[in-house]
Each structure stands twice: as structure tokens, then as C-alpha cells.
Chains A and B, each alone.
Chain A
């Protein structure tokens, strides 16, 4: 077992993990944070995307042991994040989810897109979203929601990245 300390959604978590345990399994099984969904478990679908030290990260491609000393945010921890609040509203208004399985990864990635691009257009969003798979094929409304959220951002520049 490997001892780890993670700042998880702003709370210090100390635990012992098996070295082979993925960050995704640690979040879901040890911490009970089930907003992080596991689709493919090999980096292709993007459903498990979380934020590690401010960077969008596939939690199935990161070992829990490698997250030692890092700050990890899951969708649960971004409940009151202003950008996520805006995105949630637009996902609702544009009907950007059907079964909802891919939605946590879509939201985390959408937030990352708006932090790096000022008012992204349809083409940019589609390219940036190509690592997120929606098996309901609801892409049109997901793209619409992200573009609309970008238009709604008050400032001229992209949303500020995490500190």
C-alpha cells in the first residue's frame, strides 16, 4: 500500500491505496464521489475527466498514488464554481444531455475550454471536444451550450484559469 495525501475538492484526504488503483477508482470507491464516471477506462471516452492541479485530467489514466500531494477537483467540488454554474444553466437550456453518462466529463472539459479560449466558435468547441464521447450522440446541443456559455462570459478574455 502507498500512503497518499490529496486536497480533494478543498478537503485534505489522507489514505492508503494499492499502487495499481486508478485515481478514478479511488474517487468513486474510496471517496464515494460518483459524479466521475468510468466509460472506457483507457483514455478514449473522457467521461472520467477531473481537474488535477488546475489541469483537465483523465482520472482513469492517472494512478491515485501519482495524485499524492496534488489538488483534485471533481464535479462535486465545482458545485459553486461560477463558470460551472453558467455551464450548468446552458446545458439545461440547450438540452445538452440525454442519458447523462458523459455529462460530468463534458462539463469539466467545457470549463477547461472556456478557460483557454475567448468566446470559442462552433469549430473550436468541436475540435476541443473530440476527446469526449457521447453515445447518445447529443453533440449538437452540447456544442451549442458551450458556445452560448462562452458568449455569456462578461469579460473580453477567456475565463481565468484555476489559481
Chain B
């Protein structure tokens, strides 16, 4: 359980960090909270030559809100969001999601940027930020890119990040009318990575809905048929179940009968959670 040797540096700027991460001939990694990376180094699942500590770069800590959007710097920790230290124009959704991640001691250091960069299929922030249609701002040697999270994460633990890239933060559009949402998670033990994560949102009382399912495949997916059905006034549970079945088949491969029942139950739970609001 001890990491293999590596070199450690703590650059003073994003530009300096980007250059360090791109060091020729070296396997490098950026560390922010380290709550996923350090165990991976300790278990020697990840082997690196150089660790670049970006945890003290103030440029990655900004949190701002305008009437149109909220900016959350990549170094924002889960517990800062949980404690309401970031603007909450999403009716409490981000606070609720943050408070359910792992354990408090981990949330005190784990960051939203680190979670998105790792792109664990069972992580919470990818689902949440896809549901909120956020974009991620990436600075690298080839300039600045601002992909949507749904495009940024393209597979299990795989993003469009390339060597020398650093996530600055996330731009989340403000809902035009109050957002309603539901969140449900299946995990064997509170704080453990989930077996199913469902986030449901709707704009206002009868606006369009979004449904995102995570931990069911390599990356979270939008459940389009389910979202359409949810927005139909008076839709029955039977109709919702049929839509969920269609979406599960369209978006995920190899789910067994148990997994399908579990994901269906979890999405229905999230939908009920939203309707209760």
C-alpha cells in the first residue's frame, strides 16, 4: 500500500503547471484533492514519474454567479458545495449531490474538477453536470476549449483531456424558471461508489424534463424517451417503465435482468423525489 517513487512539484501558475504536465518522456499527473489519485498511486494502479500539485492555484478556485450562469472553479471541494458556499440556483440539487459523495473527510479535499477529470463511471458529478448542461473550460498547450460535459467524457475513465491540459472550472447555465429535481442513488453502503445514480430535472411546473442515468455503463447517458414521457401530464407509471426500458436498451449494453430492475426502480424513485417537490 505504498506508492512507487515519483517526483513532486508545486507550480506557481496554471501556465507553469501545464508545461510541467507536458514534460517530455515522463508520465505525469495533476493532483488536486488526491482523494482518488492517492489510493490509485498507493495501490500502484497508476504509476507516474512526476506529480504536479495544482491544489494551491488560486485561478482554479473562483466561484461566481451572473444572472445567466454560475462558474465553479475546478478546485471547489464537495464539502464547500455541500455547505452552500457556492451559489445555488439549482434548487439545492448540487448541495444534495455533494453531501452524498463518499465521507466528510474525503469531501473536505475531493474536488469537482478532479471528479470530472477522472470520469469514474459511478461518480456523481458527471451525472449532475450533464443534467445541468454544464460546460468545462480546459486550458492546454493548444489553447482553450469549452466542451459540454456530455462530449468531454467519452468513455469509462476517458475524457478529451490531453497532456498538459488543466480543467479551470465549469460554467453552468442558470435555469430561466425555478428548477425542480429528483436524485436517487443505489449504493451497498452510504459513501460507497454507486451501482445506480439517477438525476431528474424539470424546468418549472410543466417545462421540459431531463433524465440522466449513471453507473449503468461506461459513462452517464441522457434518457431521452423517459424525459419526454415525464413531461407528459398524467403519464402513468406503466408508461414511464416502458420509456425507461426503451432508454436502457438504447444507451447501455449487457445489463442483466436485475440491473434493469434496479435502474428502473432508481429512476422512478428520482422521478417521485422530483414530483414531491
Residues of A whose CB lies within 8 Å of any CB of B are 2, 18-20, 22, 25, 40-43, 46, 49, 55-58, 60-63, 65-66, 68, 109, 112, 127-128, 130-132
Interface residues of B in 135-170 (CB under 8 A from A): none
Inter-subunit contact A56/B105 (CB<8 Å)? yes
Chain B 27-53 interface mask (CB, 8 Å, partner A; 1/0): 000010011001101110000000101
Beyond A42-B42, A58-B109, A131-B105: 7 further Cβ-contacts under 8 Å? A20-B6, A61-B109, A62-B38, A109-B104, A112-B104, A127-B190, A131-B106
Min CB–CB distance B104 → chain A (angstroms): 6
Interface size in chain B (residues, C-beta < 8 A): 31
In the complex where A2-B8, A56-B105, A131-B103 touch, is A43 in contact with B1 (Cβ < 8 A)? Answer: no
* B24 in contact (CB, < 8 A): no
In the complex where A19-B8, A42-B39, A66-B34 touch, is A130 in contact with B105 (Cβ < 8 A)? Answer: no
Q: What are 15 A-B pairs at a CB distance below 8 A?
A: A19-B51, A25-B2, A42-B43, A43-B39, A56-B104, A58-B109, A61-B35, A61-B39, A62-B34, A63-B31, A63-B51, A65-B8, A66-B55, A68-B10, A131-B102
In the complex where A63-B34, A130-B189, A131-B191 touch, is A58 in contact with B5 (Cβ < 8 A)? Answer: no
Interface residues of B in 104-155 (CB under 8 A from A): 104-106, 108-109
Closest to A131 in B: B103
Closest to A58 in B: B105
Q: Which listed residue, B38, B43, B103, touches A63 by the CB 8 Å rule?
A: B38
Inter-subunit contact B34/A61 (CB<8 Å)? yes
Inter-subunit contact B55/A20 (CB<8 Å)? no
Roughly how many angstroms separate A62 CA and B109 CA in the complex, as a whole number?
Answer: 9
Closest to B7 in A: A19
Q: Which residues of A contact B106 (CB under 8 A)?
A: 43, 58, 61, 131
Roughly how many angstroms separate A84 CA and B136 CA in the complex, as a whole number?
Answer: 43
Roughly how many angstroms separate A57 CA and B35 CA in the complex, as a whole number?
Answer: 10
* B242 in contact (CB, < 8 A): no
Inter-subunit contact B8/A41 (CB<8 Å)? no
Inter-subunit contact B55/A131 (CB<8 Å)? no
Roughly how many angstroms separate A65 CA and B190 CA in the complex, as a whole number?
Answer: 30
Roughly how many angstroms separate A127 CA and B187 CA in the complex, as a whole number?
Answer: 14
Inter-subunit contact A41/B1 (CB<8 Å)? yes
Inter-subunit contact B104/A20 (CB<8 Å)? no
Min CB–CB distance A114 → chain B (angstroms): 13
Q: Which residues of B contact A112 (CB under 8 A)?
A: 104-105
Roughly how many angstroms separate A24 CA and B268 CA in the complex, as a whole number?
Answer: 43
Nearest 10 pairs of A and B residues by beta carbon: A131-B103, A19-B8, A41-B1, A42-B39, A55-B108, A20-B3, A56-B105, A130-B190, A61-B38, A65-B8
Min CB–CB distance A3 → chain B (angstroms): 11
Inter-subunit contact B34/A128 (CB<8 Å)? no
Q: Which residues of B contact A55 (CB under 8 A)?
A: 79, 105, 108-109
Q: Which residues of B contact A61 (CB under 8 A)?
A: 34-35, 38-39, 106, 109
Closest to B50 in A: A19
Q: Which listed residue, B8, B51, B191, touches A130 by the CB 8 Å rule?
A: B191
